[in-house]
Amino acid sequence: MAEKNVRGMRVAIVVTDDFEQVELTEPKKALQEAGATTTIIAPKSGRVQGMNHDEKADTFLVDLTLGQADPREFDAVVLPGGALNADALRVDEKAQEFVRTMDRQGKPLAVICHGPWLLVSAGLVKGRKLTSYHTIRDDICNAGATWEDREVIRDRNWVSSRQPKDLPAFNREMIALFAELRTQAEEQRVGVG
């Protein structure tokens, strides 16, 4: 089964305060159950605040700061949403460079809800096809991407979803994409060597 090919993958989850908690916890759980290792990365050390829509939820320990995290040490990245989280991350130069480096290396990227704001500000969405929370549709289209109102969209090394109710489809497609790209990378390494 392809999903087994995520075993041992190192997945960065990039957030800051006021992220939508379920958009971190559910993908993290799905990845860990499939055998991947997840690392919470944030602009600052300590803990980050999760949200349940507009209510404070739990806090989570930051494993690495963006200043400490090296994208070359990760196989994939997950970008949870939450409007305040995404709005703060989109102007963080280290967050922008982290996702640019991951994308340049062709590594898989999973993004949900308001998370694409970081990709817009990092200059990555032009010519791409994705979905998001409906309120940032114009931002995505104005940056040159094609936006569709679907629960999940896969485009090359990206998978995107709209909101928490799409998490079952998002998690399924995220794991499938991560496994497929890992298999392709391994086949290329073997074919070259």
Indicate the domain borders of the chain: 2-192
Q: How confident is the model at residue 4 (pLDDT cuts 50, 70, 90)?
A: low
CB 32 within 8 A of CB 58: no
Question: With contact defined as beta carbons under 8 Å apart, do 133 and 163 qualify?
Answer: yes
Query: Considering 53, 114, 134, 141, which one is annotated as catalytic?
Result: 114
Please report the DSSP string for 108-124 in residue order: -EEEETTTHHHHHHTT-
The catalytic position among 53, 113, 134, 141 is: 113
User: Quick check: 159 and 108 in contact, CB under 8 A?
Assistant: yes
pLDDT at 56 over 80: yes
Closest to 61 (Cα-Cα) out of 42, 81, 80, 84: 42
| pLDDT (tens digit per residue) in 137-183 | 999 999 999 999 999 999 999 999 999 999 999 999 999 999 998 88
Cα distance between residue 158 and residue 109, in whole Å = 5
Q: How far apart are CA 68 and CA 155, in angstroms?
A: 29
- Global confidence as pTM: 0.95
What the block records as the tokens of 147 is: 């936006």
What confidence score (pLDDT) does residue 178 get?
A: 95
Instruction: Look at residue 1 in the predicted model and tell me its pLDDT.
Output: 41
Which fold, 2-192?
A: Rossmann fold (3.40.50)
| Predicted local confidence at residue 183, as pLDDT | 84
* pLDDT tops 90 at residue 188: no
Give catalytic status of residue 141 as yes or no. no
For the stretch 92-116, pLDDT in tens is 999 999 999 999 999 999 999 999 9
Is 114 an annotated catalytic residue? yes
Confidence of residue 192 (pLDDT cuts 50, 70, 90): low
Alpha carbon of 18 to those of 35, 68, 114: distances in Å? 27, 21, 12
Query: Structure tokens of 15?
Result: 């957030």
**Tokens coding 86:** 């995404």
CA distance 105 to 183: 15
Q: Which residues of 148-162 are buried (b: 16+ CB within 10 A; e: fewer)?
A: eeebbbbbebbbbbb
